Amino acid sequence: MLQELKTILGHPGGVLVFDPSAFPKQGNHSVGVKRQWCGVEGKTDNCQVGCFVSYASPNGSCIVDAQLYLPQEWAENDDKRRECHVPPDIQFKKKWEIAIEMLDKCPSQLPHSIILADSEFGRCGDFRDYLRREKENYLLDIPKNLEIRVYKGNFLIPAPTTPEKWALEARPSAWKKFDIRDTSRGVLLLEGMMTRVITHREDNTWREEILVVKKEKSTGEVKYAAHK
């Protein structure tokens, strides 16, 4: 299947997009259902969560792979597993670990220039470290309150800050305007800026990344991303 997709959609400028999506669900007999964050409803509710990877290029786009997320409570409940026929080889994995499994199937078959994901994956330093080790370029959303340290020229400012605070303190001239694409409501206009930063690991080592800040002009919504 992936070889066929490569033939039809493959392009050196293609992108892989990782995204967890939730499906509202009631009852106790659907695998993985529990009270967890449901993005569709914008709140914590009973739902199933799936991890998806899509491929997009100038030739088109499609979903490449999907896997159901099995919460730890389910993975450790023998009665539920037996009642709902969960195969014994399916064990608990964090969502970013599922993303890595799906990514391992893709690179040689689907040429891509970068990996994109929302903060569900981007907030995880281990996932970003994995992509770095695999020499993957990435642009992953991160939380606005992630602790960072910012470079000024070639010097690292020792005081910690956050993406949100850095953006609020930036000079107005630092923002650059971009016309992204035509939409049903007109041209999507963004302002953006970026800077070199370091982010820390739990073992007190650090990784160097690029902080990217983007703001939609029409809504004022600001998002933050880590780029390598």
Q: Which two tokens stand for residue 143?
A: 């939380």
Place of tokens 């960072």: 148
- Alpha-carbon distance 207 to 220, whole Å? 30
Which residues make Cβ contacts (< 8 Å) with residue 43, sequence separation at least 6? 37
**What residues does each domain of the chain span?**
1-141, 142-228
- Alpha-carbon distance 151 to 7, whole Å? 43
Contact between 228 and 211 under an 8 Å Cβ cutoff? The reply is no
pLDDT of 183 reads 58
pLDDT of 5 reads 72
Phi/psi at 120 (nearest 5 deg)? -55, -40
pTM over 0.95: no
- Alpha-carbon distance 45 to 33, whole Å? 10
Beta bridge partners of 66: 52
Q: Which CATH number fits domain 1-141: 3.40.50.300, 3.40.50.2300, 3.90.350.10, 3.40.50.1370?
A: 3.90.350.10
Q: Which two tokens stand for residue 136?
A: 């993957």
Q: What is the dihedral of CA 223, 226, 227, 228, to 10 degrees?
A: -170
pLDDT of 108 reads 61
CA 55 to each of CA 153, 168, 174: distance values in angstroms, whole numbers, following the listed order: 36, 34, 32
| Residue 204, phi-psi category: left (phi > 0), alpha (psi -120 to 50), beta (remainder) | left
pLDDT in tens, the chain (228 residues): 667 777 778 788 999 999 999 989 887 788 989 999 888 788 899 999 999 999 999 998 999 999 999 999 999 999 989 988 999 889 999 999 999 999 988 766 788 999 999 998 999 999 999 999 999 999 999 999 999 999 988 899 989 999 999 999 988 888 888 877 665 566 677 889 999 999 988 788 899 999 999 988 778 889 999 999
pLDDT of 182 reads 61
CA torsion sign for 124, 129, 132, 134 is negative
pLDDT of 40 reads 79
Angle of helix 125-133 versus helix 95-104 axis, rounded to 10:
20
